[in-house]
Amino acid sequence: MNFTDRPRRLRRDGVRELVSETSLAPEDLIAPVFVDATTDERVPIQSMPGHERVPIDQAVDRVEEVLATGVEAVMLFGIPESKDAQGSRAWAEDGVVQEATRRITAETDAYVITDVCLCEYTDHGHCGVVEETAAEDPDLTVKNDETLDLLGKIAVSQAEAGAEMVAPSSMTDGMVGAIREALDDAGFSDVPIMSYAAKYESSFYGPFRDAADGAPAFGDRRHYQMDPANREEATREVRLDVEQGADVLMVKPALPYLDIVRDVDREFDYPVAAYNVSGEYAMLHAAAEKGWLDLDAAATESLLSIKRAGADLILTYFAEDVARRL
């Protein structure tokens, strides 16, 4: 045995780290934060161990906890005090995300990103204005063009409150263009858009719907979120968002769609984000509770795989735990 090429030579301690191709850093991560206008105390999210809904008065404290781990950016999701058919609390000046954003930007150094969607704010749980027959016999469920104006209003209200980036997640055709136009017209041309450019109708969202109280009251979201079977369509979706002015391109979910992350990274010269969603988080916790895997090691390996696939940014519920170990 006289091999010239022996890859194991570079796997010894000391040199292994020097030749490592992919690395994670706290600044690669974005931590989701749930702010709840209906409570005066922190409420554990049962399906997402270690995470809580926090009242507005504790939003700053919660973000300070994130910053202490080295993570620099947060994504705010809101649970409003009331809901209606249009989701009007989503763009209210005194809305839960708007008020939390003002406090967090005034009192911390966090980079604040806000979710632009309606599902947490509508009494029907869908991501826009629904058609009249949606509950009984839906055709497209959400009226696309009627929803665009509302998304623009949400983004402007969040920018006025101090949001440093907005992130539309509704998969409404034309959403990036409508939001870009609304922001520019309101004097916020410097506020970037991180578009959920390829968001799939996934079974991995279940725990988030507990966390954000945003499950549909009827039907599902197949009429506006992408078919998990489709890969080439993702490139088309992303290209449309680029043409409309997106600054960062997100793929959601992450782990079951690493091929999409890779495709977007190769095709487009833009920062790529991936959302390591609630179901991905919850299943690792469940397996660890059974003693079937090491949670810390599995979480880090999962995020490394997302980064290796081509993501520059990772939105993940593991952000704080992994950042502490980096």
Positions marked active-site: 199, 252
What contacts 226, CB < 8 A, 6 or more positions away? 171, 198, 199, 200, 201, 233, 234, 237
Q: How many CA atoms within 13 Å lie on the side-chain side of 214?
A: 27
- Round to whole Å and give the CA distance between 226 and 68: 36
Q: Of 130, 28, 117, 111, which is closest to residue 79 (Cα–Cα)? A: 117
Q: Residue 48, SS3?
A: coil
Distance CA(10)–CA(21), nearest Å, equals 12
CA distance 201 to 292: 28
| DSSP SS3 for 74 | strand
Structure tokens at 76: 């705010």
Residue type, 139: D
> Can you spell out the DSSP letters for 286-324?
HHHHTTSS-HHHHHHHHHHHHHHHT-SEEEETTHHHHHH
Taken in order 54, 316, 78, 223, the sign of the CA dihedral is: negative
Q: Beta strands 111-116 and 73-79: pairing type?
A: parallel
